[in-house]
Amino acid sequence: MQSTRSMGPDPYFPANGDPRYRVHRYELTLDYRPGPNRLSGTARINAIAGRTQLTEFQLNLADFRIGRVRVDGKQPHYTHRGGRLRIRPAKPPRPGAAFTIEVHWSGNPRPVASPWGGLGWEETEDGALVASQPVGAPSWYPCNDRPADKASYLLSVTTPSAYAVVAGGRLLTRTTKASTTTWVYEQAAPTSSYLVGLAIGTYQTVLLGDPGPGGVPQHGHIPAHLLPRFSRDFARQPAMMELFQELFGPYPFDEYAVVVTEDELDVPVEAQGLSLFGANHVDGVRGSERLVAHELAHQWFGNSVSLADWRHIWLNEGLAKYAEWLWSERSGGRDAGRLAAAAHRSLAALPQDLRLSDPGRKLMFDDRLYQRGGLAVHAVRIALGDPAFFRMLRGWAEQHRGAAVTTATFTSHVARYAQEPLDGLFTAWLHETPLPPLPTAGTRPAV
């Protein structure tokens, strides 16, 4: 498995994350009051120093009031400006040594600015939600905000008892005292900082299908008045889960939750073990079913198998897009070939300035990346043939479970399943900007 722990700063977001150390575990204790939008928190962060003595390091954290910082129990020198908490320990951890950071913070959380608008913590009509991709995690907790630095999480959230708290992971306890309730969630699987999801609101909770022995518990958390529409729109999610486990391998986490907010969202947002949808994605006629499939597929592609850095985002979105097409194909809709042809026609009429393997920050969420990513996966399917292609997909999810990968990791993996070199295919689809011809059965990859 390819290691990415020692890689340098993310070229798209060099101010986020610190490659000089890695985090093993976050323990976050939060108290949130929705009325005044007031958040106070304590983070205990277990980390491991890199190859050099850690005389200074940084966490990313938005503009909160800092109440206390400790490194291995001792007060360090620190500054907090521009979303960076720079820390100089009194006793620097030695290379490879474990150390503990403690941070207390408080304030009014709000989204952090980005080229795509506000990201991270956001007040809703009745509560709050977190949608952090790609750099919104520091809007609510201190973190080493780089996708390759994956850690386990223990998350304790106290709110007024009228509100439910939903997070990705297993609910360990729910304890009510006086007028507040504390919810404690555990996410044991390695998790990127942007994938820590949270929703606070007045939800009705329903079970989506009967998981049975060894099955995956799936729950929906929905405003009560949206339940009739939700029940139809998400009725086939258990069948999607069954299909994707057949195609991609076992579901990589303990549980899967879906939250629908009262607010409208431009697009649904994936988190680890959790997906967030807006009220506009629930129409009662399954109008957003492809998005239900897309977000579920991200649990394998993007969440379990994560990115070394944001240049490789097509691996998340291209594979999730193709999962949409596979669901359509297997559930009585149009097959992947027809959906690929429609995507190709659409892309052919658009500018040819997108390099899939390194789109640049400006284009990393361009719809063309999703469509061309799906087409690139389809081209691989045509080149390999179905038996080898589906062995390749399952092997990708299983062999890199919990890891962070690059485009080169993927192409090397695919090559092991090919009977002839695929260098020309990869160059045309991933590294050059002109749109290659539509891949069809019977065509041979360029060499």
Residue 39 pairs with which residues in a beta bridge?
32, 107
Does 378 count as an annotated binding residue? no
Q: Do the Cβ atoms of 24 and 188 come closer than 8 Å? A: no
How far apart CA 282 and CA 226 sit, in angstroms, is 8
N-term to C-term CA, the chain: 27
Alpha carbon distance 321, 344 (integer Å): 13
Number of other residues whose CB lies within 10 A of the CB of residue 67: 12
- Contacts of 59 by beta carbon, 8 Å cutoff, 6+ apart: 18, 45, 84, 85, 87, 101, 103, 138, 142, 143, 144
In order along the chain (447 residues), what is the average pLDDT of each group of 10 residues? Answer: 56 96 98 96 98 96 97 98 97 97 98 93 93 97 97 98 96 96 98 98 93 89 96 96 97 96 91 96 94 98 97 98 98 96 98 97 97 98 98 98 98 97 98 95 47
- Look at residue 446 in the predicted model and tell me its pLDDT: 37
- Two tokens, residue 41: 């928190």
CATH topology of domain 1-199: Immunoglobulin-like (2.60.40)
What pLDDT score was predicted for residue 214? Answer: 80
Examine the residue annotation and report whether 295 is marked as an active-site residue of this protein. Answer: yes
Cis peptide, bond prior to residue 359, ω within 30 of zero: no
Residue ranges, CATH 1.10.390.10, the chain? 306-431
Please indicate if the annotation marks 432 as binding a ligand: no
65-71 and 127-131 strand pairing: unpaired
Residue 254 confidence (pLDDT): 93
- φ/ψ of residue 226, rounded to 5: -95, -5
Domain ranges in the chain with CATH number 2.60.40.1730: 1-199
> Among residues 297, 269, 381, 367, which one has the least CA distance to residue 335?
381
Report residue 348 as tokens: 């052919």
Query: Which residue's structure tokens are 């695919």?
Result: 414
Q: How far apart are CA 101 and CA 83, in angstroms?
A: 17
Q: How far is CA 387 from CA 98, 144, 176, 381, in A?
A: 45, 40, 53, 9
DSSP 396: H
Q: How far is CA 261 from the centre of its chain?
A: 18
The pair of structure tokens assigned to 82 is: 């521009």
β-pairing verdict for 306-307 and 404-405 = parallel
CA angle 421, 402, 94 (to 5 degrees): 110
Cβ pair 29, 41 in contact under 8 A: yes
Task: Identify the pLDDT of residue 211.
Answer: 83
* The predicted structure's pLDDT at residue 440: 86
Residue from 295, 322, 324, 417 carrying the catalytic annotation = 295
Kindly report the pTM of this predicted structure.
0.95
Rounded distance, CA 204 to CA 226, Å?
10
413 assigned to a ligand binding site: no
Matching residue, tokens 């954290």:
61
Q: Quick one: which of 111, 113, 106 has its CA closest to 121?
A: 111
- Which residue among 141, 256, 370, 417 is the active-site one? 370
What residues pair up with 158 in beta bridges, in sequence order?
31, 182
Q: Find out if CATH 1.10.390.10 is the number for domain 306-431.
A: yes
pLDDT value of position 9: 82
